[in-house]
Amino acid sequence: MSEESPGYVGRSVPRVEDERLVRGAGRFVADLHVADAADVAFLRSTQAHALISRLDTSRARSMPGVIAVYEAADVVDQITPLVAAELRVPPGLAELGPINKVQPVPILANPEVTYVGQPVAMVVAESRYLAEDAVELIEIDYDELPAVVDLELAVAPDAPLVLIDEQDNVGVHIRHGKGDAARAIANAAVVVADTFSTQRHVCAPLETRGILAEQDPFSGALTVWSSTQTPHRLRDHIAESIDVLADDVRVQAVDVGGGFGQKGTVVVEELLVPYAARHLGRPVRWIADRYENLTADAHAREQVHHITVAADADGKLVAVQDRFLVNLGARNMTGLVVPYNALCHLVGPYQVDNVDIEATGVLTNTTFTSPYRGAGRPEATFAMERALDLLAIEIGMEPSELRRRNLIGPEQMPYRTGMLDRRGLPQEYDSGDYPELLSRAVDMIDLPSVRKRQSSPPAGGRVIGVGFAMYIEMTGSGPFEGARVEVTRSGRVRLYTGASSQGQGHRTTFAQILADSFGVDMADIDVVAGDTSRIPDGIGTVASRALVTAGNATRQAGHLLRQRVLDAAADVMESNPADLELNKGIISVVGSPTKSITLAELIRAVPHAPGGTGSDGLSETSYFRPPNYATASGAHAVVVEVEPLTGRVSVVDYVVVHEAGRIVNPRIADAQIVGGVAQGIGGILCEHIVYDPSGQPLTSTFADYAMPLASMIPDIRLDEIVCPSPTNPLGVKGLGEGGAVGPPAAIANAVEDALRRMAGADVTIRTGPLSPSRVLGLLAASPSLN
């Protein structure tokens, strides 16, 4: 696969991360022991929308063990309100005339609080126990304001304002399409119009958000250990908001226990903690508890799609029209990211000439939202793929056959959709073979056999259903990621990149790439990801981008370093670089292997080389800026069993056929897909962040917010095809998110297929989660069963 030996890329190399983690020797932020570190607890709003009428922190401030209490007045002139970097609108999309309101987040709220969980005061104390005691001593009174929670109600004409200083509750709006959808729909043979919603989720990585900051007493510089997905962004936010030089802020993402998008959004707590560490001259840490994670950290996914699909009598799609709402929560934190991702992925792998999609990001008095694995794609795919199933039923066609008739063919690649991508440039799918994905999925799930089983009486009263979903995912978003590689004093090779890992195994996969491109054993490589002091610029691990961007940067840097090593060795060995080769860390003269020098010997010899190159050592930095997205794709097929008496849904067979370009580490890649599928299964079967109408969160523990457990996840069967991406030298595509995109639609399609066998044509699944009570409700509402 790679042009160089020894060929690590493409092999399931065991992960180098694992041994210390299975020994309990990982070091997550909460595991770091910094002497004299003080702990933080927050007073958070208990009201969805209110004005604080009285806030008295005096008793808390005088409590023994309390070091400091900060309220809004203490920090308003000290920390700049948070404005997320994600709010930029690229020029191409600006021409569409979008609304994208910049709504700076107050560091601590006062007087207006806009969601339950919003930070109002921060207590720093000798322990978390004492900090929580002190929070209890803070006295606060509120004057309630009208709150709005439901996103349809929030855009109704008489809706109360979510933020009293705004004119309305719209944070984002954009409309984009091609052709003439209204006309095509008016003239179409078959039209299906319905509403499909994705309920509110939370990423809930098992490690909650954490941050520990310490000011160096000698230099005054800040060291920040964080569970962030985007260390360089966090560094820049901290530097700007508390007015220190970015050079004097070092953010290190240590072991991070999952992120999935939640830790890719900077929050005010991450600015307050470094500020306090500096203000107090003492290390300060905050580790969110699960209550904070579920109620006061970013939520996700809540969307309502009013979608219309139209086709001719043969099932050929002629138009897609969609008006959808995205619940942004109490502020526009990430702008177009989720709404536009949903918009430009909705039509997906299908060829449709007339498209009209309008996205509205709606403010509500609920916790702010962030991208979550898939970032708009699972929600859009749910609407589109549900609509396709209804269309297939309307036409009387096998749903997989309807899909087959509309797929973009491999011969059409690269395929221009006629729409604009997330960068505002013409949307182009670089490579793929969607019919092959579908065909394999149909074969693997053995559709004819499932249909045959469905025609006989259900075994044990359990009814089975089969469902499909397809999607594309434009991965590897830019603008860039970097890699710095160097030969260390001991002769090892070290890679630094901003694309840190939250469990994806970057220390293994990036080392595989570097081992091949540079020419050493993997065992001689150390990967340091997410330390801002080691590479000046970076973005992070979000949006299925790390392998495409950082992976290719690593490859480039490896090549550059290889040449530099050969040049330096030529100086030291007094020979011609072209006569030298580098293999397994040893540089030798081609044809006379005894004349050689090791990397360790070389790095020590360089300063002594007469008339050297003037360079200070053996290191190279490379940034890779992808010219286009690398578009991955997948087909999911699932068989479910529904128990009519209990409403329980079991996933009995799950098949994924995916395409994500060249695969660097198959075992890691497969596990990313499976992990994503499990999150999707949880999303459609049990996960739901629930608010009551007054804006009180009702799902604040894992007993209320039901996470998928092992018994819900079958042994998922995988297949893949490989269409190398022409957008980057490695030919790779991102696949971190893809697995999570298909399950909600595929499972809903399968459950509805099962329910329709019991209840006839009048069961339509419009939202999740498909908990037993909801499934029973769907059956109970069916006239044909009553």
Return the SS3 of 143. Answer: strand
C-beta of 501 vs 764, nearer to another protein: 501
Return the SS3 of 517. Answer: helix
* DSSP class per residue in 558-620: HHHHHHHHHHHHHHHHTS-GGGEEEETTEEEETTEEEEEEEHHHHHHHGGG-TT--S--SSEE
C-beta of 695 vs 708, nearer to another protein: 708
Measured N-to-C along each axis, helices 666-685 and 743-759 cross at an angle, to the nearest 10 degrees, of 50
Return the SS3 of 679. Answer: helix
Query: For residue 582, what are the β-bridge partners?
Result: 587
* DSSP class per residue in 569-581: HHHHHTS-GGGEE
C-beta of 4 vs 620, nearer to another protein: 4
CA end-to-end span of the chain: 61
Shortest Å distance, C-beta 678 to another protein = 3
C-beta of 130 vs 224, nearer to another protein: 130
Shortest Å distance, C-beta 7 to another protein = 8
**Distance between CA atoms of 707 and 724, rounded to whole angstroms?**
35
Shortest Å distance, C-beta 270 to another protein = 19
Shortest Å distance, C-beta 713 to another protein = 5
C-beta of 64 vs 614, nearer to another protein: 64
**Distance between CA atoms of 386 and 388, rounded to whole angstroms?**
5
C-beta of 86 vs 687, nearer to another protein: 687
C-beta of 63 vs 153, nearer to another protein: 63
Shortest Å distance, C-beta 90 to another protein = 32
Residues 420, 423, 427: CA angle, nearest 5 degrees: 35
Residue in this structure with the two tokens 């050689």, named with its chain if needed: 596
C-beta of 231 vs 661, nearer to another protein: 661
C-beta of 204 vs 570, nearer to another protein: 204
Please check whether residue 433 is in contact with residue 467, taking contact to mean a CB–CB distance below 8 angstroms. Answer: no
Shortest Å distance, C-beta 261 to another protein = 12
- Nearest to residue 484, comparing CAs of 499, 497, 468? 497
Shortest Å distance, C-beta 24 to another protein = 2
C-beta of 18 vs 762, nearer to another protein: 18
- Count how many residues are written for the chain: 786
C-beta of 339 vs 734, nearer to another protein: 734
Shortest Å distance, C-beta 739 to another protein = 8
Query: Residue 144: what are its φ and ψ, rounded to 5°?
Result: -65, 145
Q: CA-based Rg of the chain, rounded to a whole angstrom?
A: 27
Please check whether residue 238 is in contact with residue 249, taking contact to mean a CB–CB distance below 8 angstroms. Answer: yes
C-beta of 179 vs 724, nearer to another protein: 724
* DSSP class per residue in 77-132: TTSPPB--GGG---HHHHTT--EE---PBPSS--SEE-STT-EEEEEEESSHHHHH
Shortest Å distance, C-beta 376 to another protein = 20
**Distance between CA atoms of 343 and 323, rounded to whole angstroms?**
10
Please check whether residue 148 is in contact with residue 114, taking contact to mean a CB–CB distance below 8 angstroms. Answer: no
C-beta of 103 vs 367, nearer to another protein: 367
Shortest Å distance, C-beta 722 to another protein = 4
C-beta of 141 vs 289, nearer to another protein: 289
Return the SS3 of 274. Answer: helix
C-beta of 502 vs 621, nearer to another protein: 502
Shortest Å distance, C-beta 35 to another protein = 9
706: left (phi over 0), alpha (psi -120 to 50) or beta: beta
Shortest Å distance, C-beta 348 to another protein = 23
- Nearest to residue 478, comparing CAs of 532, 530, 423, 428? 423
* DSSP class per residue in 335-382: TTHHHHHHHHHSSTTB--SEEEEEEEEEE-SS--B---TTTTHHHHHH
Return the SS3 of 311. Answer: strand
C-beta of 201 vs 250, nearer to another protein: 201
Shortest Å distance, C-beta 548 to another protein = 16
Supply 372's token pair: 């979550």
**Distance between CA atoms of 652 and 716, rounded to whole angstroms?**
9
C-beta of 40 vs 678, nearer to another protein: 678
Shortest Å distance, C-beta 441 to another protein = 17
Return the SS3 of 133. Answer: helix
Residues 301, 340, 478: CA angle, nearest 5 degrees: 105
Residue in this structure with the two tokens 């600006």, named with its chain if needed: 94
The DSSP symbol for 661 reads: B
Supply 10's token pair: 């493409």
H or E element: which one contains 71? strand 66-71
Shortest Å distance, C-beta 701 to another protein = 5
* DSSP class per residue in 426-453: EEEE----HHHHHHHHHHHHTHHHHHHH
Shortest Å distance, C-beta 685 to another protein = 13
Shortest Å distance, C-beta 76 to another protein = 29
